[in-house]
Amino acid sequence: MTCHLRMKEQDESVQWINGVSRFTRLMVPALAATVFLILIINLGVSLSETLKHLSVTDSLSRSLTSIKCSLEQIINNSSGLDGCCPPDWKLSGLSCYFFSHSRMSWNNSRAWCEDHESHLVILSSDRDWDFVTRHSVPDFFWVGLSDWRTGMWEWVDQTPYSMDSRRWGPGQPDSWTGHGLGPGDEDCAHLHRDGRLNDRHCIHQMRFICQKLSGDP
């Protein structure tokens, strides 16, 4: 009888231990999932707050730029039509121009300009040419002119280009294929050291000029 009771007690003890073990196996993942969920929620709140702070900072930066522009117009006795440009951009007429110091391929230059709310420069008037070449000479700069898309020269906004030989170097464009830079000829235009245009393989690395309307961020 005593032996039977002891065996019964042992069985009940084992069952209790097994029950606790199953409970523990169930609770640990549940607790881990709960902690993970809490961390995600806190992280989401943190990211949301960070984005709000960044938005406020960007808004303040734009406001300060606008105030700075207004003060410069008052100091220089100029009208609001003259517009304003971001730091390191140069104003001419209603456009802002950025003359890069870094060197990139034509496509990467175009992408850089677009990432900064602008485009590779479009030279549509004598005034544009005079201003740009005054700041580009004596270095090479990509401009927004190419013929890779259709075989016909056009600006980056797909405006057709009317050939003007006085703007090109002697014998240019020549679509030279002996450049050793891979397949294709010279499909992209740049300003040469003398301020005239030359065609070159688009993969070549050189400085570039971005353009956008003054007053744009």
**What is the reported pLDDT for 175?**
78
Nearest to 209 by CA among 146, 148, 119: 119
In the chain, domain spans: 1-84, 85-213
Nearest to 191 by CA among 211, 209, 166: 209
- Beta strands 141-146 and 119-120 are unpaired
- pTM of the full structure: 0.64
**What is the reported pLDDT for 81?**
47
Of 3.20.20.70, 3.10.100.10, 3.30.70.1290, 3.40.1390.10, which CATH number belongs to 85-213? 3.10.100.10
Cα 137 to Cα 114: distance, rounded to the nearest angstrom = 24
- Segments of the chain scoring below 50 in pLDDT: 5, 14, 16, 20, 23, 76, 78-81
**pLDDT by residue (tens digit) across 153-192?**
999 999 999 999 999 999 999 877 666 666 667 899 999 9
Q: Can you say whether the dihedral through the CA atoms of 111, 117, 122, 127 is positive or negative?
A: negative
